[in-house]
Amino acid sequence: MASELPWDPKTRTLRRDLAEGMMNPACKQALELALGLGQKEGAQVTAITMGPPMAEEILREAIAMGAHRGLLITDPALAGSDTYATSFTLARAIEIFCPDFDLILTGCHTTDSETAQVGPQLAEELGIASAAYVDEVTVEGGTARLRRVSDGFLETLEIDLPCLVTVNTTNRSPRYVPLSGLEDAFGEVNILSVGVADLGIDPALVGADGSPTRIVDVTAPRSGKENVVLTGAPKKIVEELLERFESRISGLIRQDIRKSDAR
């Protein structure tokens, strides 16, 4: 969570180097969904990550879980990239190394900065349709059918392939890593490591210099909860309680607390 990582006021970035390397939980959900679709549709699954060289570990984990190949985008020139520069870089990599893709699945957001921007921006960069915070995806012919909960309603959407879908963190338990899969992931596996030169990207367009976003400060929101202790005679307490909280409680239980059986 953004508030759990210390903020470096000099570079104006989160100290991600202090976090233990792990697959972003929402991305793990996206991978699980991709692997399920891959098995059902006979599709090839490519896991892509952009990060420091140690991010290779995440790709090995993805391959151990069942992905067919991995693409690691790593280059010192990319350090400090904001969501715009990241989406731009990912788009170029996908154009070159996955030109025939049908479906891009991403996590709905990361647990470190939680912007939820990279997925939709990537779709814009690639000029394809997208949908965010999706729970389920099925594919029929050239169409994907999506389900998501939005404003308390269950929505079913149809979207033409190729498209991009960001996957919610609910509803699925990602498969465990089989140990034979891990053994395979360290055998002869297809992990390609590329830098900005391989992607034909001008280094000035990425990294901290190529990033238009400036984060000025990061603060944790103050919790609005407070404990209230009412004192005095019972009748007075009940009256005060109703006066202060009646409308909120009635709203929450969806019936008038004065007429409720729960009285």
Partner 1 sequence: MKHKLVRKAVREFAEAELGPIAHDIDRDARFPWEVVEKMRPLNFFGLQVSRDFGGAGLDSISYAIAVEEISRISGAMGLCVTVHNSVGAYPIERFGTEDQKRRFLPRLASGESIGAFCLTEANAGSDASGVETIAVDAGECFVLNGTKIFVTNGGVCSLPLVFAVSDPSDPTGSSCVFVVEKTMPGFSVGEMEDLCGMRANPVSSIFLEDVRVPRENLIGGIGDGTKIALATLDTGRIGIAAQAVGIAQAAFEAAVKYSKERQQFKRPISSFQSIQNMIADMAVSIDAARLLVYRVCAVRDAGGRFGKEAAMAKLYASTICSEVASKAVQIHGGYGYSKEYDVERYFRDAKVTEIYEGTSEIQRMVISRWVLSESM
Helices 118-126 and 83-97, interaxial angle, to 10°? 50
Residue 179 touching partner 1 (CB under 8 A): yes
135 near partner 1 (CB under 8 A): no
Q: Is 177 in the site for partner 1 (CB under 8 A)?
A: yes
Among the listed ranges 177-185, 198-206, 208-216, 240-248, the one in contact with partner 1 (CB under 8 A) is 177-185
Among the listed ranges 159-167, 179-187, 189-197, 244-252, the one in contact with partner 1 (CB under 8 A) is 179-187
Minimum CB distance to partner 1, residue 169 (Å): 16
Q: How many residues bind partner 1 (CB under 8 A)?
A: 14
Binding flag, residue 176, partner 1 (CB under 8 A)? yes
What are the structure tokens assigned to 251, written together?
Answer: 């709203």
Contact 201, 86 (CB under 8 A): no
Q: How far is the CB of 100 from partner 1 (least distance, A)?
A: 30
Core vs surface per residue 18-56: b (16+ CB within 10 A) or e: eeeeebbebbbbbbbbbbbbbeeeebebbbbbbbeeebb
Taking CB under 8 A as the rule, does residue 67 contact partner 1? Answer: no
136 lies in the binding site for partner 1 (CB under 8 A): no
DSSP string across 72-137 = EE--GGGTT--HHHHHHHHHHHHHHH-TT-SEEEEES--TTT----HHHHHHHHHT-EEEEEESEE
188 binds partner 1 (CB under 8 A): no
Least distance CB 254 / partner 1 (angstroms): 34
180: contact with partner 1 by CB under 8 A:
yes
DSSP assignment letter at 174? P
- Residues 6+ positions from 224 with CB-CB distance below 8 Å: none
Which residue among 79, 161, 182, 241 contacts partner 1 (CB under 8 A)?
Answer: 182
Closest separation in Å from C-beta 17 to partner 1: 17
Rounded to whole angstroms, the Cα distance separating 227 from 230 reads: 10
Q: Is 28 in the site for partner 1 (CB under 8 A)?
A: no
Residues 46-65 as x/- pattern, contact with partner 1 by CB under 8 A? ----------xx--xx--x-
Quote the CA–CA distance of 203 and 207 in Å, as a whole number.
Answer: 7
Query: Given the rule CB under 8 A, which residues bind partner 1?
Result: 56-57, 60-61, 64, 176-180, 182-183, 185-186
